[in-house]
């Protein structure tokens, strides 16, 4: 589904990502781990189109997308969430979801004048989808709450919900577990697993929470100093001496 080939991102003389090559298979939840500063988020930013690689290639669904703008990737189903949630904090939870699709007729001034029936119908459909999404995430009770008032975990669920308002195919999740309490964490894991199993989403998951990686991810890719160190099942990767060394003597489970 995704092929990253010899990807490089340089900031001045510093290589944040250094000839990174990896493949993501459709239908899998691929875990991306590695110590702080390994280049994981920088890699995500290049895959999502937020930054342009210094060199290398990215192919998605068989097509080269290296120079494609982020919004075009988004409309092809390549979407991401952020380490720090990007909600519109003064809008309600429901409004946050309704903001997402961005292709409804109401966005055009002309359509508002001449095709108001279509605009109204689009809006009703989007609202229904937003309610379904909130029900799925068990956030229905906070639909009218300002998003800024949600807990850290609820904001992470809302981020996941925003991907569900699109026809997402490949979802990049950047540290969904960070700042989330244990109860909501289990819920988040369950929802990711259902979206993968029943709705066919493919995920790449950056995470320091090794329990989550072990439960959800196969395969697991470990990066260090901008490069891919090893790829394999969780147990193999976790016990590889290069991985342990990359985490500077910590056990992988303590690395967060
Ligand atoms: N815009 C930038 N300018 C300069 N250096 C950057 C920039 N963005 C990232 N870096 C550097 O690139 C390296 C990789 O950062 P990145 O955020 O991708 O790591 P990471 O693996 O996601 O780390 P963490 O697990 O801490 O989030 C770091 O040394 C970081 O300081």
pLDDT in tens, 175-225: 988 888 888 889 899 999 999 999 999 999 999 999 999 999 999 999 999
Over range 32-41, report the average pLDDT.
94
User: What is the pLDDT at residue 105?
Assistant: 47
Do 83 and 93 belong together in one domain? no
Residue ranges making up the domain that contains 199: 2-87+155-254
Do 43 and 94 belong together in one domain? no
Strands (E), 25-85: 29-33, 55-60, 63-64, 78-80
Alpha helices in 104-171 (DSSP H): 109-114, 116-136, 152-164
Do 108 and 62 belong together in one domain? no
Protein residue closest via CA to atom 1 of ligand 1: 11
Distance separating alpha carbons of residues 169 and 216, to the nearest angstrom: 17
Distance separating alpha carbons of residues 222 and 239, to the nearest angstrom: 12
**Distance in Å, CA 75 to ligand 1 centroid:** 27
Q: pLDDT grade, residue 139 (50/70/90)?
A: very high
Cβ-Cβ contacts under 8 Å for 142 (sequence gap 6 or more): 93, 150, 154
Query: Which residue, among 82, 195, 85, has the nearest Cα to 187 in the 3D structure?
Result: 195
Q: Which of 31-40, 140-149, 151-160 has the lowest mean pLDDT?
A: 151-160
Length of the chain: 256
Protein residue closest via CA to atom 2 of ligand 1: 11
Do 216 and 237 belong together in one domain? yes
Mean pLDDT of the chain: 88
Q: Supply the CATH number for residue 229's domain.
A: 3.40.50.300
ipTM of the complex: 0.96
Q: 154: Cβ below 6 Å to ligand 1?
A: no
What is the sign of the dihedral through the CA atoms of 66, 68, 70 and 72?
negative
Point out the ligand 1 atom lying closest to the alpha carbon of residue 35: 25
As to burial, measured by CB atoms within 10 angstroms (0-12 exposed, 13-18 middle, 19+ buried), residue 90 is exposed
Do 171 and 245 belong together in one domain? yes
Do 75 and 96 belong together in one domain? no
Which of 15, 18, 31, 38 maximizes ligand 1 atoms within 8 Å of its Cβ, making it the mutation to test the pocket? 38
What pLDDT, in 10s, does the model give residues 76-129?
999 988 766 677 788 999 999 998 765 554 455 555 555 556 666 778 888 999
Q: Which of 59-68, 110-119, 143-152, 163-172 has the lowest mean pLDDT?
A: 110-119
Q: 45: Cβ below 6 Å to ligand 1?
A: no
pLDDT at 251 over 60: no
User: What is the pLDDT at residue 256?
Assistant: 44
Task: Extract the tokens encoding 47.
Answer: 């895959």
Q: Based on the structure, what is the number of domains in the chain? A: 2
Question: pTM for the complete prediction?
Answer: 0.86
Do 123 and 8 belong together in one domain? no
Domain boundary among 149, 166, 197: 149
Do 33 and 141 belong together in one domain? no
Please report the DSSP string for 100-118 in residue order: S---SGGGSHHHHHH-HHH
Q: 17: Cβ below 6 Å to ligand 1?
A: no
Do 185 and 62 belong together in one domain? yes
């Amino acid at each position: 589904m995704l092929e990253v080939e010899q990807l490089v991102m340089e900031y001045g003389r510093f290589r944040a990502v250094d000839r990174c090559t990896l493949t993501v298979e459709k239908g899998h939840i691929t875990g991306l781990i590695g110590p702080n500063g390994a280049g994981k988020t920088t890699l995500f930013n290049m895959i999502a189109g937020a930054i342009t690689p210094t060199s290398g290639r990215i192919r998605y669904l068989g097509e080269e997308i290296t120079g494609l703008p982020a919004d075009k990737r988004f409309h092809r189903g390549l979407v991401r969430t952020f380490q720090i949630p990007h909600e519109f904090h003064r809008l309600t939870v429901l409004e946050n979801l309704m903001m997402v699709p961005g292709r409804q007729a109401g966005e055009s001034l002309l359509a508002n004048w001449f095709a108001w029936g279509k605009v109204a119908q689009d809006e009703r459909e989007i609202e229904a989808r937003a309610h379904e999404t909130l029900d799925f995430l068990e956030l229905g009770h906070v639909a009218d709450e300002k998003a800024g008032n949600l807990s850290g975990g609820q904001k992470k669920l809302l981020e996941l919900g925003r991907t569900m308002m699109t026809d997402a195919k490949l979802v990049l999740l950047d540290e969904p577990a960070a700042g989330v309490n244990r109860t909501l964490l289990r819920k988040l894991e369950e929802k990711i697993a259902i979206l993968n199993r029943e709705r066919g989403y493919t995920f790449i998951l950056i995470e320091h929470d090794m329990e989550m990686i072990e439960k959800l991810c196969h395969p697991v890719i470990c990066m260090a100093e901008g490069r891919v160190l090893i790829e394999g099942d969780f147990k193999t990767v976790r016990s590889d001496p290069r991985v342990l060394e990359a985490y500077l003597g910590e056990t992988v489970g303590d690395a967060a």
